[in-house]
Amino acid sequence: MLTAVAVLAAGGAMSAFLVNRGDTSQAANQTAQPLPVNTAKVTQQTLKDTETEDGELGFGTTSTAVNRVAGTITSLPDSGQELQRGNTVYSVDNKPTTLLYGALPSYRRLADGSEGPDVQQLEQNLQALGYDGFTVDDEYTENTAEAVEEWQEDLGVDETGVVELGSVLYAPAHIRVDSVQAEEGAPLGPNQPVLTYTGTRKAVTVQLDAADQRLAKPQSKVDLTLPDGKSVPGKVEKVSTVIIPASDPAKDPETKVEVIVAIDNQKAVAAWALASVDVTFTASERKNVLTVPVSALVALREGGFGVEVTDGTASSYVPVKTGLFASGQVEVSGAGIKAGTVVGIPK
């Protein structure tokens, strides 16, 4: 008599049947029991463990531009405006804060004698803007100062040869102004937000539960289903942990895994400024493996799993090694198991 037992598999719960194969030294034990009524064939396929989550189409991560010196706001960009290297982001006391490209934030005053990676980052930008006469390295020399003076002349500011803190804003590439917090003509102190900005390319943001972090593998490919039902590929660009404050003071904040998905085909998403999309992650993938329905597995009394193999006239229980569980299928391998083999499905 077969007895049902519960077992736990990767990707969810399933059920199997406990059987006694008798002589466990044989690879297959012929049985006199009735042939299985329900059967399935062993198939060879690519098995994917996928999971679909809700995502928000927008412009990805939002950053904040913070004022560094006290003064009066004299110019601001418009929300939605795109800015490139060399453009003025905003002005305080009629002195511009200029957009430059780089990963290292501006954190100090740079002048003749300064050394460090921020100097090299500045010189790379000066060179990209067309200024020369200096060596791009980590040393701020007199030649660097002369190039800065030329740049300042073109900006219409005092030609000091010194890059004051707050006079530049570094971003990875050109930016899109998301929202503006400051007002023209209003006084603004140090460390106060002026505006928020994003990149200019559409991206999808997904917030996963911490338990689903396995889905968020940097550079992994995902499938995006757009509001019109069309599917476009995406790639995980950034993964970070965020804390979501609780709406109820009596509850604890939530820890989420925020995933930014990059989209190469920007034309496909151009019709939507904001939209909800389905994001399908592939946690695991096994190519060209043998699979059976999960319901075909039986739990052997001596341990492990097996399947009931039948040729239409007799059946036998064959032990198998299991691999990936996904989409109701399970990867199997073992003696006598090949594509096309017929296995029973227990009632």
Element (H, E) at 148: helix 142-155
Contact 44, 288 (CB under 8 A): yes
Q: Which two tokens stand for residue 188?
A: 């603004």
In whole angstroms, give the CA distance from residue 282 to residue 226: 18
- Residue 262's nearest CA partner among 231, 221, 228, 215 is 221
- The predicted-structure confidence for 161-183, as pLDDT tens digits, reads as follows 999 999 999 999 999 999 999 99
pLDDT of residue 327: 87
Burial of 12 (C-beta count, 10 Å sphere; 0-12/13-18/19+): exposed
In whole angstroms, give the CA distance from residue 306 to residue 332: 9
- The predicted-structure confidence for 251-292, as pLDDT tens digits, reads as follows 888 899 999 999 999 999 999 988 999 999 998 889 999 999
In whole angstroms, give the CA distance from residue 122 to residue 140: 9
Assign 245 a pLDDT band (cuts: 50, 70, 90). confident
Mean pLDDT of all residues in 126-133: 98
- Contacts with 208 (C-beta within 8 Å, 6 or more apart), sequence order: 53, 215, 216, 256, 257, 258, 259
Assign 34 a pLDDT band (cuts: 50, 70, 90). confident
pLDDT of residue 2: 45
Amino acid at 14: M
The DSSP bridge pattern shows strands 298-300 and 12-19 to be parallel
C-alpha distances (whole Å) from 225 to each of 56, 231, 239, 270 are: 11, 4, 20, 14
Percent of the chain with pLDDT over 70: 90
Q: How far is CA 314 from the centre of its chain?
A: 51
Residues listed for the chain:
347
DSSP string of 115-130, one letter each residue? BSHHHHHHHHHHHHTT
Assign 27 a pLDDT band (cuts: 50, 70, 90). very low
List residues bridging with 50 in a β-sheet. Answer: 282
Percent of the chain with pLDDT over 90: 76
pLDDT of residue 148: 98
- Residue 15's nearest CA partner among 276, 347, 252, 344 is 347
Mean pLDDT of all residues in 199-223: 93
- The predicted-structure confidence for 97-122, as pLDDT tens digits, reads as follows 999 999 999 999 999 999 999 999 99
Amino acid at 165: L
Mean pLDDT of all residues in 52-62: 94
Q: Which two tokens stand for residue 73?
A: 């706001």
In whole angstroms, give the CA distance from residue 143 to residue 127: 12
- Residue 163's nearest CA partner among 175, 150, 172 is 150
Amino acid at 211: A
- Contacts with 173 (C-beta within 8 Å, 6 or more apart), sequence order: 101, 199, 200
List residues bridging with 278 in a β-sheet. Answer: 54, 225
